[in-house]
A and B are shown apart, each in its own frame.
Chain A
């Protein structure tokens, strides 16, 4: 009974319409419409989850056909398999909690424009949910773009401040840059396989697999590439969109600026929607990526690099939301590393854990911002621990999960990701070892910046009047924090690989869940076969145990946290990072990423654009204007034929007829 599945996405869409049209007349300006809709979506998602665990995978690729041509049909459909069922719950739950939290963060703080806010949240949730269970790549692309549009609208919610408007534009443009590649990839996949369907017989990963692994059939390649090389190219083109959305190096620059949006929006963007969409897409078409060791290697390397790169920048940030922003970039780097290292379960596991603990941390920071009367500089905080215990303990749970400290959720998934990378790195993929090394070092930085943030915010003496006299927070803030705090603490237990190994027990529940009730082409079992197949990715595992790498990463995380404890967990901490000197300047300026991208835009692109513009203005417009003046001019002449004198008309008519007769007669040979 999956007939109700479309309602999962459509409910938030209804709330979007309701909030937009009559939000102003509703109590709480449309918040309740959103809460009811998201609650409904959550219930339906849970029910879909139960159906899937009962052994039904719902794959209806042809719910609505909007283009039916002879060779290609474009359709909207729904695919609910274990992966999308899991993601549906994550998205609807986080969105529901964000809606509830917004009551405290937006309504109680007396914001204006709330109907617009709730309408955009509804549209955002709708787009993401529809993206999650999209049955084909083109539909996914369309909702991917809608997600981008919604984040543009929400980041720019306070559009009257210049920085918010600029941040929104930046987010939109940078992600759009990646999406160009994605679009070309979509077109390429449809042109190559004639379908963009994700799962089922005749879907593009299956067709590619048949050609590459099974040797049945062949695929039309372009540019003279071999089949596997062409699959790699297509995969990398789609990856362009992923890198933009999931804020991977070098398209990560939009994400820290996106902090200009309301904190609730940041929570939604970072945990469950916008940024998650990129990584989710890689997981969604993992069967396609698993055919190409090059694509996987690039994914892993970009991920590992981004993880380290962003973590180092997080070390010197003073704004609590900025620290979290860099942590997001870094954590998505881990997910990419996990997926690229062949760890489909590990990457998905971290995606889920991160959704909960990052939503928690952002909502926690939102709570801190309420407490601090909208101050975000951590150096003006301190000592909030005793004044806001709920916020403190939930934030602490989230931080422990983020830093990857046992037994909080982040530890299990991060450990599994690093283990997968090492595991295959030592096997036959030395490139993965480099990615692993970067990921491992990033663990230390993660521990450090996370606890630097915790200690500066909550520990020590209050360093400002606001911190001495915090604004109280209400139940609508506390309930989401508690729910997410519990999840961040315990959700990791669903897939404790080292413990399973140790006890030799069958407790890798997430793994079993993603494996699905039966073997399909999106189950883990199948992905692993592909991964090891020598015609596909050809990853070979080494026989290394999970304990030593796990202990190593835990030790590094603890070392980072310990260093933060030593430096900042004092009554009156000093800004130690200033001792870093020029390195700090470099980090403060984010490795001059923005500067070089601005230079690229202003120094390189703009002159080219100017030249193109010049060409357009002179040559193209000249030609067009020339043509139009010719046509208007000849139009004038045509007008002059219409003299208004009827004898002229009769003469012209007769002459025209005679001319026609002569032409046809000569052509037909009547006169010979």
Chain B
């Protein structure tokens, strides 16, 4: 059909584009180390992200990675267990493309927004280069088909993230947050890699499907189980799941707000794509439940604890950014339902619903953090009270923030409603009504703190600080990114069909 067939490695084109953009930015930096040419730097980064986005979108439409379309692409060698041949180190399927789509969208929004946010900061080229490097890491995580590539891409993302969080070098909060993130991250990486080593010790393989094959019938259940739980712990760090979440509120609060958006949306989704792939391919629940390694139970515990703790903590915050940080912990709990309810008869719907939620979340959560970035840019203040009456000065942005808040709470007519609805319905149909009930109660609680923001924006009288916000001072980049996120959040409800089709199809190709 196509005019010419692309070579197989071209399936990784989005990753290559992101990596190349990062390198291009480094080249620019080495030519002109003190460049403050913001349009060029932000423009290069955004072009790269949008190009990756376009290629991903094209691949998704063209059926790359679709078992019924052009087929799943497996790259870089093969693995063998007992004569059975498995795929290579990387794989490009619908799930990897769907998540790359999220990463590229979020990256594009973040780089556009950073154009304004970084005004007056030095080392801008490094900033964009690190963002693109992190994005490269994420898209590799989406494609990683072996525990080795998982870990390497994981670290690529992590190391870039630490630097990005600490980017505001003269800001104590930013540096402190970066250090804490790094320390907790180092601990978690140790846990993760130890887990991997134990799994390797039992199965003798790192390729995910080969691990599953070799694990069946093993007698070293305790060692294997320990490894599985440690791997889960490592991933839980990246997705900010309780009790690995401690870094999240501080890192999100201290980091530049666009980076908070980037970490809480894209980086979290990257953690989830690894979780989805590793736990379905390497540790399939049928085999592992028979062995006595009930990681589903562990995920259920983590989901309930995470939802509850995240939302309860969010309810008592006085600062909007910190509230959003905890709410993003809570949302990790919702997305975990995708794995926690996998043992039902409709596992592809549940797993797909987890992916759908992450797609929608990528837009609404990024948008919300970018609104915080906008407020920080105006220097209005950080608490709920400081937001009072912002709508009188910035109605469009406030409207967008209202959309994000209601969508995060799961109200119609926004995308967050559809994904949460399908997720909870899927859990109920799988027989895990109590998971859905915990989720629903937490959603109700979340409405309380989300609507506090809306109330402050629209119904409270403006304070003096708000009065000083100059209407003339409307940063184009931040506004563009926020409006794009808002439009996407709204449009995802009517356009939910294609998203859910892709997600369910991606999920069913992971499941046996």
Residues of A close to B314: CB separation below 8 A: 635
* Top 6 A-B pairs, shortest CB-CB distance: A656-B243, A635-B316, A668-B292, A649-B246, A670-B222, A635-B312
Contact A653 B226 (CB under 8 A): no
Residues of A close to B316: CB separation below 8 A: 632, 635-636, 638-639
Contact B294 A667 (CB under 8 A): yes
Q: Mark A240-262, 1 if CB is under 8 A from B, else 0.
A: 00000000000000000000000
A68 within 8 A of B: no
Contact B222 A660 (CB under 8 A): no
Contact A631 B445 (CB under 8 A): yes
A222 to B293, CA, bound (A): 49
Residues of A close to B183: CB separation below 8 A: 646, 650
Contact A632 B315 (CB under 8 A): yes
A367 nearest CB across to chain B (Å): 48
Q: Mark B312-337, 1 if CB is under 8 A from A, else 0.
A: 11111100000000000000000000
Known: A631-B312, A652-B243, A664-B297. A670 touches B180 (CB 8 A): no
A663 to B183, CA, bound (A): 27
Contact A664 B313 (CB under 8 A): no
List A18-71 residues whose CB lies under 8 Å from chain B: none
A655 nearest CB across to chain B (Å): 8
B287 nearest CB across to chain A (Å): 13
**Can you pick out 25 interface pairs between chain A and chain B where the beta carbons lie within 8 Å of each other?**
A631-B312, A632-B315, A635-B312, A635-B314, A635-B316, A638-B309, A639-B313, A639-B317, A642-B313, A646-B184, A649-B247, A653-B184, A653-B244, A656-B244, A657-B243, A663-B297, A663-B301, A664-B225, A664-B229, A664-B293, A664-B294, A664-B298, A668-B291, A668-B293, A670-B222
Chain A interface residue bracket vs B = 20 to 34
List B217-255 residues whose CB lies under 8 Å from chain A: 221-222, 225-226, 229-230, 233, 242-244, 246-247, 249-250
B275 nearest CB across to chain A (Å): 15
A636-B316, A649-B246 known, 6 other contacts, Cβ within 8 Å: A628-B448, A646-B184, A653-B184, A657-B229, A667-B297, A668-B294
A670 to B242, CA, bound (A): 24
Contact of B313 among A638, A646, A663 (CB under 8 A): A638
A669 within 8 A of B: yes
Contact B292 A669 (CB under 8 A): yes
A588 to B389, CA, bound (A): 55
A215 within 8 A of B: no
Known: A638-B312, A660-B229, A668-B294. A653 touches B246 (CB 8 A): yes
A230 nearest CB across to chain B (Å): 31
B265 within 8 A of A: no
B187 within 8 A of A: yes
A656 to B244, CA, bound (A): 8
B302 within 8 A of A: yes
Contact A650 B225 (CB under 8 A): no
Residues of A close to B295: CB separation below 8 A: 664
Contact B293 A649 (CB under 8 A): no
B451 nearest CB across to chain A (Å): 13
Residues of B close to A631: CB separation below 8 A: 312, 315, 445
Contact A646 B180 (CB under 8 A): yes
Q: Which residue of B lies closest to A642 (CB)?
A: B249
A637 to B244, CA, bound (A): 18
Q: Which of A635, A636, A644, A655 has the most CB of B within 10 A?
A: A635
Contact A668 B243 (CB under 8 A): no
Instruction: Give the interface SS of chain A, mostly helix, strand, loop or mixed.
Output: helix
B188 within 8 A of A: yes
Residues of B close to A660: CB separation below 8 A: 229, 233, 298, 301-302
A661 within 8 A of B: yes
B191 within 8 A of A: yes
A632 to B297, CA, bound (A): 28
Q: Which of A628, A655, A664 has the most CB of B within 10 A?
A: A664
Residues of A close to B445: CB separation below 8 A: 631
A634 within 8 A of B: yes
Residues of A close to B317: CB separation below 8 A: 639
List A614-672 residues whose CB lies under 8 Å from chain B: 628, 631-632, 634-636, 638-639, 642, 644, 646, 649-650, 652-657, 660-661, 663-665, 667-671
Contact B292 A670 (CB under 8 A): yes
Contact A663 B298 (CB under 8 A): yes
Residues of A close to B188: CB separation below 8 A: 653
Contact of A671 among B184, B222, B309 (CB under 8 A): B222
Q: Which of A654, A656, A661, A671 has the most CB of B within 10 A?
A: A656
Q: Which residue of B lies closest to A669 (CB)?
A: B292
Residues of A close to B309: CB separation below 8 A: 638
Residues of A close to B233: CB separation below 8 A: 657, 660
Q: Which residue of A lies closest to B249 (CB)?
A: A642
Contact A656 B184 (CB under 8 A): no
A663 nearest CB across to chain B (Å): 7
Residues of A close to B292: CB separation below 8 A: 668-670
Contact B229 A661 (CB under 8 A): yes
A652 nearest CB across to chain B (Å): 6
Residues of B close to A657: CB separation below 8 A: 191, 229-230, 233, 243
Residues of A close to B294: CB separation below 8 A: 664, 667-668
Q: Which residue of B lies closest to A645 (CB)?
A: B180
Known: A635-B312, A635-B315, A668-B221. A649 touches B226 (CB 8 A): no
A656 to B221, CA, bound (A): 21
A667 to B301, CA, bound (A): 13
Residues of A close to B246: CB separation below 8 A: 642, 649, 652-653
Contact B229 A644 (CB under 8 A): no
Q: Which residue of A lies closest to B250 (CB)?
A: A644
Residues of B close to A650: CB separation below 8 A: 183-184, 187
Contact B180 A668 (CB under 8 A): no
A653 to B192, CA, bound (A): 13
Contact A634 B312 (CB under 8 A): yes
A628 nearest CB across to chain B (Å): 8
A3 to B492, CA, bound (A): 32
A631 to B187, CA, bound (A): 31
Q: Which residue of A lies closest to B226 (CB)?
A: A661
A271 nearest CB across to chain B (Å): 39
A541 to B473, CA, bound (A): 84
Residues of B close to A663: CB separation below 8 A: 297-298, 301
A241 to B291, CA, bound (A): 63
A626 to B166, CA, bound (A): 41
Q: Which residue of B lies closest to A643 (CB)?
A: B246
A657 to B187, CA, bound (A): 12
Q: Which residue of A lies closest to B228 (CB)?
A: A664
Residues of B close to A652: CB separation below 8 A: 243, 246
A647 nearest CB across to chain B (Å): 9
Q: Which residue of B lies closest to A635 (CB)?
A: B316
A620 nearest CB across to chain B (Å): 15
A628 to B298, CA, bound (A): 28
A667 to B291, CA, bound (A): 12
A644 to B173, CA, bound (A): 11
A648 nearest CB across to chain B (Å): 8
Residues of B close to A665: CB separation below 8 A: 222, 225-226
Contact A653 B243 (CB under 8 A): yes
